[in-house]
Amino acid sequence: MKAAVIVFPGSNCDRDLSVALERATGTPPKMVWHRETELPPVDLIAVPGGFSYGDYLRSGAMAAQSPVMRTVVEHAAKGVRVLGVCNGFQVLTEARLLPGALMRNAGLKFVSRPVGLRVENVESDFTRGYEAGQRIHIPVAHHDGNYFADEATLDRLEGEGRVAFRYVDEDGEPTADGNINGSARNIAGILNESRTVLGLMPHPERAVEPLHGGTDGQPFFRSLVEALS
Amino acid sequence: MSPRNEPAVTAELAAEHGLSDEEYALMLRLVGRAPTFTELGIFSVMWSEHCSYKSSKVWLKTLPTTGPRVICGPGENAGVVDIGDGLAAVFKMESHNHPSFIEPYQGAATGVGGILRDVFTMGARPVANMNALRFGAPDHPKTKHLVSGVVAGIGGYGNCVGVPTVGGETNFHPAYNGNILVNAMTVGIARADRIFYSAAAGIGNPVVYVGSKTGRDGIHGATMASAEFSEDAEEKRPTVQVGDPFTEKLLIEACMELMATDAIVAIQDMGAAGLTSSSVEMAGKGGLGIELELDRVPQRETGMTPYEIMLSESQERMLMILKPGREAEARAIFEKWELDFAVIGRLTDSGRLVLKMHGETYCDIEIAPLVEASPVYERPWEPTPARAELEPALGALPARPVAELLKTLVACPDLASKRWIWEQYDGQVGADTIYRSGQADAGVVRVHGTNKALAITTDCTPRYCVADPVRGGAQAVAEAWRNLTATGALPLAVTDNMNFGNPQKPRIMGQFVGAIQGMAEACRALDFPVVSGNVSLYNETEGQAILPTPAIGGLGLLDDGAGAVPLAFQAAGHAVLLLGATDGHLGQSLYLREILGREDGPPPPVDLAVERRNGDLVRGLIRDGLVAACHDVSDGGLLVALAEMAMAARMGAELPGLAGADAGQLFGEDQGRYVIACPADAAAEIARRAGEAGVPCSSLGTTGGTALTGFGHGAISVDELRRANEGWLPALMAGELAPVV
Amino acid sequence: MKAKVHVTLKKGVLDPQGKAIGNALHSLGFGNVGEVRQGKVIEIELAETDRSKAEAAVRTMCEKLLANTVIEDYAVELVG
């Protein structure tokens, strides 16, 4: 699997994502600066977390308009897999590669901690390594992770099995208690129609080695390597 | 020399700038003619307490600052210690107290920004942030607002720049009602042979300005930080700077990129007193002169005067001396990162600071006296009277059930969980965090690309310091050393942040002197030199001083980060042991304050030889893989330490070793103690090694179950303790706590 | 010419910040406060003298960047 990691001014999880991808594939991904208009031939484009352009105006808004994102959108249309983590998820929604928007957390505060997730869809190249309904723990760190979409869009996402991950409580249930940021229907990650684009707020790259305190992110990267190699 | 459009300098104007009569007279002598307004501004900030350390200097010199690991001690932007394999850790702690009280979000945010710059200026990539916070009484009308603003500001800045905040401490006490303390610490990693310093060199070399544009932010912030507050402090709001963490992140990346070349001769961030202190200090250290064309300084506002440009504290700016001919290469890097870059002057052999604008000279003064002739005061001081010992009868347990006492203690402001705070800080960005707040006695961060890890802690017990500054100063150092040790790390060095009241009062100066004496003694005994620091004086409002707060930032090294131990019990059936002696010292304990409503007695004695012996034993046990969990016994005493290990694990313990213990033994704050949990078969080996080292070792019991039990006080539910411990701060911040009457 | 762009959350989109401000106003004793919505104002200096051209340009800016029309409405006001 060949991968590229997009770097915006203000990205700060670009290295972490690159390290996790290198661990999984054995080769370092290409780091692509936001002003580039060409992408190397890759199987996966990863849009990392951070505060692109300071998250000024709206999280991800300015990054979505950067030169490289036009190219990313073109590649996505051709079926190249695109992953957006945290700020990357916000960028993908702003670029309209994924529906909905990520608003200020309902609690209004930045939240950084491991959260319980339920894997809802295991039929994508990103999630095949998990069991359906598996409960995992992955860290989040965001201020704007409150997923919003209108009811029709939410129904469609559910109907088409495009909800990839949901926040759950200590008992593994998607309750209000387990919903750390007020997301509609506890949504933590979604897929596009063709299941080739995934955006999620939690950081799987922060859960790939025992020193991270958990390794529930490993199957995520393993899924990608198995599907795209 | 009398530039147009500048007010004439008078004794009154000098007094408004905070210069004393003697200082003004000295300045007139040094200038040798009528000084310009710009020159007055420069003298006033350079000679402010904040920049000149005029009240503290003579005492700071008594701290030990050298050691085999020390690459660079105090005097540079940050301290540097060798961590082996060609790498160095660069770190410092700095206060942003006054600005944070006036505008908590921006004050705290720019505090983080400033300390980050101190570290990356030296060529180190910042890898961890910490903060030590002190607020007023929880029920004081401003406290909630200040807590929420400061925490949001620290998070807003640190999270955006992508440096994990891995720990810290927060206290509440009415003595901080009018003067909160916001002390921020940053640790960075650099190649040991690629440290950047601030001494300018090379006559004719270009002086380069990079970063954000200059506005009228924070003019006279440095003098504000050196004056006592009055009730109208809030009217000073316009002088507070605004932080831009996005630009800081770009500045880090651009500086790192340029530092990978050999184009830089010297570099310094523009912190307090901005362009003035950076240019004067760089030229002063290099023994050179500097000439600046202020028209070339990138400006955000129109019509700025030389005085304003020199005194602005706009954030996210750096000053560099480049090698000749390297400007284009450097400019390309900064332009790639969309940052301002301007050659604003050059180094000269005149030894003078010369400032020109619109073809006119606004300043032409000798640099050396500005730095070297700055006033130094040996302020009169009074030793703090010793507190009377407490009556021994206090050691008996009161009639209230121990379960209730413990629940009250774990929910008291100083012991309650600070999760509400640290969950607002990204603790894991960088993916190298091994332990963050709440998980171990110190934050533990892997050195990227290696197996090594750094352990980082901040410590101070102000209630000990006010009762006995010498003992309190020693205790702060000892506790930092102990917290690092409890993770398995070898303590390397210290940064200090000395927060005190008005040094012109002999009683306050006595607190400062006492704390330094205690710290110096402890740092020597524990081979724990001070490599950087900051002094914040005049933390008083309406004559009411803060508790003396010498905050200690400690740095330790683990050769293998995977061997670091957490504080939570790791498995049921583990043996629980106490290392160190318990005398039942209740003076200045939280038990005394929270249960008996008294703040008196002397703080616990600190025996540095015992401290060292016990710590060296524990570190060896951890290194040899015998220990599963370790926690030092500090605030709240032994039963609180056990409760903290249990709450973190959501697992109880059977503790027959505590049967018959009185209040002193359960809640006394004797120093030099550690609770460890280990697999049952390691307990005998640990006891044997403790015996050999002469360290008291007692078996307390066994982990397991859901309660602390088996010592004659029923079953104290860990869940209930957790609820009490976790509930206090969220309830305070939600406005749900009834005001304490 | 200067344009002022007002960006607000669409009706029906939960505005947690507005809600918090509303609660704070209530606790300060402003009992007559109903729903509060928070938005932002963006001021843009434009080198353009034709009002209709200016408005069209700013509307395009809103659609492309200044507002996220999934959740936000915008209004353009031309000054001077």
Helix, coil or strand: residue B41: helix
**Quick check: A182 pLDDT over 60?**
yes
CB B226 within 8 A of CB B49: yes
Using CB atoms, which chains have 3+ pairs under 8 A with B? Answer: A
Write phi, then psi, for B536 (nearest 5 degrees). Answer: -125, 110
Q: Chains A, B: CB contacts under 8 A, how many? A: 84
Residue in C closest to A100 by C-alpha: C70
Residue that wins the pLDDT comparison between B2 and B562: B562
Q: Please name the residues in contact with C79: beta carbons below 8 A apart, sequence gap of 6 or more.
A: C1, C2, C3, C4
- Domain chopping of chain A, boundaries: 3-228
Q: Does A205 reach chain B within 8 Å, measured CB to CB?
A: yes
- B125-148, pLDDT tens digit by residue? 999 999 999 999 999 999 999 999
Q: Establish whether A13 is a catalytic residue.
A: no
What pLDDT, on a 0 to 100 scale, did the predictor assign at position C15? 83
Chain A residues closer than 8 Å to C16 by CB: 103-108, 146, 182
Q: Which CATH number fits domain A3-228: 3.40.50.880, 3.40.50.2000, 2.60.40.10, 3.40.50.2300?
A: 3.40.50.880
Residue B720: count of CB within 10 angstroms of its CB: 15
Comparing CA positions, the residue from B286, A29, B255, C53 lying closest to residue C78 is: C53
Side-chain half-sphere exposure of B116, counting CA atoms within 13 A = 36
In terms of residue numbers, what domain contains B645? 565-735
pLDDT at residue C28 above 60?
Answer: yes
Contacts of A50 in chain B (CB under 8 A): 162
| Dihedral sign from CA coordinates of A120, A125, A131, A134 | negative
CB contact under 8 A, A9 and B244: no
Would you say residue B225 has pLDDT above 60?
no
Instruction: Give yes or no for residue B199 having a pLDDT over 70.
Output: yes
pTM: 0.94
Mean pLDDT of B575-596: 97
Kindly tell me if the per-residue pLDDT of A34 is higher than 50: yes
Task: From chain A, pick out residues whose CB is under 8 angstroms from the CB of B566.
Answer: none
How far apart CA B662 and CA B95 sit, in angstroms, is 40
- Determine whether the interchain pair C16/A101 forms a contact, defined as Cβ–Cβ distance below 8 Å: no
Structure tokens belonging to residue B172:
């509440």
Query: Is B146 domain-assigned?
Result: no
Chain B contact present for A13, CB below 8 A: yes
What's the mean pLDDT in B571-578?
Answer: 98
Q: Would you state the pLDDT for residue B235?
A: 44
Chain C partners within 8 Å of A108 (Cβ): 16-17, 20
Say which CATH topology domain C2-79 has: Mth169; Chain: A , (3.30.1280)
Two structure tokens written together for B507: 């009683």
Confidence (pLDDT) at B139: 94
CB contact under 8 A, B428 and A203: yes
Nearest CB among A55, A112, A212 relative to B426 is that of A112
Q: What pLDDT is recorded for position B227?
A: 59
Count of structural domains, chain B: 1
Confidence check: pLDDT of B740 > 90: no
Of the residues A86, A94, A120, A142, only one is catalytic, namely A86
Q: Does C64 touch chain A (CB under 8 A)?
A: yes
What's the DSSP call for residue B224? H
C12: closest CA of chain A, how far (Å):
9
Closest by CA to B411, choosing from B581, B229, B594, is: B594
Q: For chain C, which residues make up each domain, given as ranges?
A: 2-79
Share the mean pLDDT of chain B. 94
Mutant choice from B147, B257, B426 vs A, greatest count of A C-beta within 10 A? B426
The domain that holds B716 is classified in CATH as: 3.90.650.10
Closest approach of C32 to chain A, Cα-based (Å):
24
Q: Nearest CA of chain A to the CA of B626: how many Å? A: 19
How far out from the chain centre does Cα B15 lie? 32
Residue B236: which pLDDT band, with cuts at 50, 70 and 90? very low
Other Cβ atoms closer than 10 A to B462: 23
The yes-or-no verdict on residue B338 having pLDDT over 70 is: yes
List the single best residue of A58, A65, A73, A93 to mutate versus C (max C Cβ within 10 A). A58
Distance from CA of B393 to the nearest CA of A (A): 45
Q: Identify whether B449 is part of a domain.
A: no
Helix (H) or strand (E) holding B51: helix B49-52
Chains that touch C (3 or more CB pairs under 8 A): A
The residues of B that are catalytic are: 50, 96
Predicted complex ipTM exceeds 0.90: yes
Would you call C79 an interface residue with chain A, using a CB distance cutoff of 8 Å?
A: no
Residue of A nearest to C65 (CA): A61
User: Average pLDDT for residues A141-153, to the nearest whole number?
Assistant: 97
Report the residue of C8, C44, C71 to disrupt the A interface, i.e. the one with the largest count of A CBs within 10 Å: C71
How close does chain A come to B628, measured CA to CA in Å? Answer: 15
A-chain CB neighbours of B425 within 8 Å are: 110, 112
Judge whether residue B54 has pLDDT over 80. Answer: yes
Q: Which two tokens stand for residue B713?
A: 């006080």
Q: What is the mean pLDDT of chain A?
A: 97
